[in-house]
Homo-oligomer: A and B are copies of this chain.
Amino acid sequence: MSGTPRRDHAHATLKRRIVEAAYLPGHRLVERDLAEELDLSRIPLREALRQLAAEGLVVTVPGKGTIVAPVTPDDVRDLFDVREALEGLAARLAAERATDEGRARLRECVERARDVRGAEQINARADFHDELVALSGNALLADVLGGISARVRRLFHLTGDRDAEVQCAEHEALYEAIAVGDGVRAAELGVRHVTGGRAETIAAAEAWTGVDPEEATRTRRRRRAG
């Protein structure tokens, strides 16, 4: 055993490709092809696919196959509804339970995001969210929001992100509310921070053509060489 199971490597690799939109919604995932490319057998690959399916990043039609999960405007609306509720909860709990060290770490995230640009800032902002959820001290919430944030990051890769300046300002306000322990205000700001990206992301989703999983997983024969 080389430390981490090959299954975890496959899972991480495919997840990255899906989140970063290298694989678009509806993209067919053929087990034998992927196994060959990732240089492993189908067994660990299939286990990775099961995990991705549980995270909602792929859809498996029993006996047919697996595709990258399609995204409809309704899916996006649903995602924002749930995010609002959970980010609000996370912000409130963080305000109520944050320790001094936690507050310091969160402040660092705010400042780092302000100082950098581009992809680095996207990561810094993601760190802020991770830190905030960690501060909430709720492992289940961290888990659920982690899965959801993967979907959100995918959306942003598919549609483009919101104005960075605005988001940084919102993070700063959120930090302030948490720092002074104002749970109600933190929750409100957390909800609004989510709501901000809502309309434009749903609108962007209108453009995507729907994918029928049944149809997308049809057996297709490769064109013959000679």
Cβ-based interface call for A79 (8 A): yes
Give chain B residues whose Cβ lies under 8 Å from the Cβ of A5. Answer: 62-63
Cβ-based interface call for A119 (8 A): no
Contact B62 A141 (CB under 8 A): no
Secondary structure call for the A interface:
helix
Give chain B residues whose Cβ lies under 8 Å from the Cβ of A88. Answer: 85
Complex Cα spacing A62 to B44, Å: 13
Complex Cα spacing A144 to B83, Å: 12
Q: When each residue 138-150 of chain A gets 1 if its CB lies under 8 Å from chain B and 0 otherwise, what string results?
A: 1111011000100
Q: Which 7 A-B pairs have the closest CB atoms?
A: A54-B54, A78-B140, A85-B89, A50-B50, A78-B138, A85-B85, A47-B50
With contacts A75-B140, A82-B140, A85-B86 known, what are 13 further pairs, Cβ within 8 A? Answer: A5-B63, A47-B50, A51-B54, A54-B54, A56-B140, A74-B139, A81-B89, A81-B138, A81-B140, A82-B89, A82-B138, A82-B144, A144-B144
A binding-site residues for B, Cβ under 8 Å = 1, 4-5, 8, 43, 46-47, 50-51, 53-56, 62-63, 74-75, 77-79, 81-82, 84-86, 88-89, 93, 138-141, 143-144, 148
The 16 listed contacts between A and B (C-beta, < 8 Å) are: A43-B46, A46-B47, A50-B54, A51-B53, A56-B140, A56-B143, A77-B138, A79-B140, A81-B89, A82-B86, A82-B138, A82-B141, A82-B144, A85-B86, A85-B89, A86-B86
